[in-house]
Amino acid sequence: MSQRKIIHIDCDCFYAAIEMRDDPSLANRPLAVGGAADRRGVIATCNYEARAYGVRSAMSSRHALKLCPDLLIVRPRMDAYKTVSREIHQIFRDYTELIEPLSLDEAYLDVSDSPHFSGSATRIAQEIRRRVAKELRITVSAGVAPNKFLAKIASDWRKPDGLFVVTPELVDDFVAALPVSKLHGVGKVTADKLARLGVRTCADLRDWNRLALAREFGSFGERLYNLARGQDDRRVQVDSRRQSVSVEHTYDQDLPDLAACLSRLPVLLEELNGRMARLDASYKPDKPFVKLKFHDFTQTTLEQAGARRDLDSYKLLLSAAFARGDKPVRLIGVGVRLQDLRGAHEQLALF
């Protein structure tokens, strides 16, 4: 198999960058895009001036203002962000049709067979960055590597407004020095467990064989074994399909008990049903699920195969999820997992 050439593009503080572009008076001051602090809002993204104070995405707006009292929080303008995202993708398509969007501001590109710049992935990435800056007046960072795992790490290497290339001959040394916390799928819990086992870098991880990793980490052990050697065979998925549809709401005041949570279900389910009605026939509704975030920001998600998707079924799921924390609730989410019927043969009922 020929060597793949993958580019990972990641916009720099995307929402905030568009706000500063459209209103230059916002530049050079701490800025965040998110919800209002007095309405339990959360930061969606922030500029680098705000990050210097410790402000981060997914942080509560109230806490962000404690860290940075001069922080200006503006409400999101999703239509504007979606428009810019489409314009960025138009630039991508000048170089390849193999594009896998991860979000509005992030995507993988497979340029293995691109004829541009004599097939140089590095020069294609340079040109994309130049055009986005010139035509759209925002910056993007790019990583170039033989696979998705390494390209994503590389795009973060010289942020903001950076480009980093991991050529095939550099893969082994580059990966060996990586902290295991950089590996795809390794969160805090797994990283802490690895640290307790004396594993802090991929070089340390290479001392473990497949069987030993499987004993400690189950099926994820095989993935760890491969990533520690820079191996990732995932293809760029051009047609990304939905896996679920859901509705979430964060409440201005904590819901104190189960009864208060249950009383919010009808409105949430009405909105969920509206979203379900807009799905095309290539999806089949599957398992219902509920998500609760408690007042202390701990959260739980519960789903049930074979359950119906009516109000009573969601009440049972929510009750069971609430019992896991038995604390005031700040957010309720309801949703449905989806089966992708496209290209599959649905089994008919026997009777």
Whether residue 314 has pLDDT greater than 80: yes
* Mean predicted confidence (pLDDT) in 17-30: 96
Least trusted range by pLDDT, from 51-55, 192-196, 276-280, 328-332? 276-280
Annotated binding site: 10, 105
What does pTM read for this prediction?
A: 0.73
Q: Does 231 score more than 50 pLDDT?
A: yes
pLDDT value for 350 = 39
Q: How far apart are CA 61 and CA 73, in angstroms?
A: 8
Given this model, what pLDDT does residue 116 score?
Answer: 94
Residue 37 pLDDT greater than 90, yes or no: no
Best CA proximity match to 326, nearest among 265, 269, 261: 261
Query: What pLDDT, in 10s, does the model give residues 49-96?
Result: 999 999 999 899 999 999 999 999 999 999 999 999 999 999 999 999
pLDDT, mean of residues 256-264: 96
Instruction: Label residue 245 exposed, middle or buried (CB < 10 Å: 0-12, 13-18, 19+).
Output: middle
CA distances from 229 to 20, 88, 174, 215 (A): 41, 33, 10, 19
- pLDDT for position 187: 85
SS (H, E, C) the chain: CCCCCEEEEEECCHHHHHHHHHCHHHCCCCEEEECCHHHCCEEEEECHHHHCCCCCCCCEHHHHHHHCCCCEEECCCHHHHHHHHHHHHHHHCCCCCCEEEEECCEEEEECCCCCHHHHCHHHHHHHHHHHHHHHHCCCEEEEEECCHHHHHHHHCCCCCCCEEECCHHHHHHHHHCCEHHHCCCCCHHHHHHHHHCCCCEHHHHCCCCHHHHHHHHCCHHHHHHHHCCCCCCCCCCCCCCCCEEEEEEEEEEEECCHHHHHHCHHHHHHHHHHHHHCCCCCEEEEEEEEEEEECCCCEEEEECCCCCCCHHHHHHHHHHHHHHHCCCEEEEEEEEEEEECCCCCCCCCCC
pLDDT for the residue numbered 1: 47
Looking at the predicted structure, is the pLDDT value of residue 165 above 50?
yes
- What domains does the chain contain, in order, with CATH numbers? 15-77 (3.40.1170.60), 172-227 (1.10.150.20), 244-340 (3.30.1490.100)
Q: What percent of the chain has pLDDT over 90?
A: 78
Q: How confident is the model at residue 170 (pLDDT cuts 50, 70, 90)?
A: very high
Quote the tokens at residue 22.
């459209």
pLDDT at residue 2 is higher than 70: no
Is 308's pLDDT higher than 70? yes
Q: What is the pLDDT of residue 240?
A: 65
Q: What is residue 287's predicted lDDT score, i.e. its pLDDT?
A: 92
Provide the pLDDT for residue 283: 87
Measured between alpha carbons, how far is 231 from 248 in angstroms, rounded to an integer? 37
Mean pLDDT of 271-297: 89
Query: How do residues 122-161 score in pLDDT, each as one tens digit?
Result: 999 999 999 999 999 999 999 999 999 999 999 999 999 9
Question: Over the chain, what is the mean pLDDT?
Answer: 91
Average pLDDT score over residue span 16-38: 94
Is the model's pLDDT at 349 over the cut of 70?
no
Residue 348 confidence (pLDDT) above 60: no
pLDDT at 351 over 60: no
Bind-site residues for Mg(2+): 10, 105
Model pLDDT, residue 189: 87
8 A C-beta contact, residue 151 and residue 174: no
- What residues are annotated to the active site? 106
- Taking phi over 0 as left and psi of -120 to 50 as alpha, with beta for the rest, 150 belongs to alpha
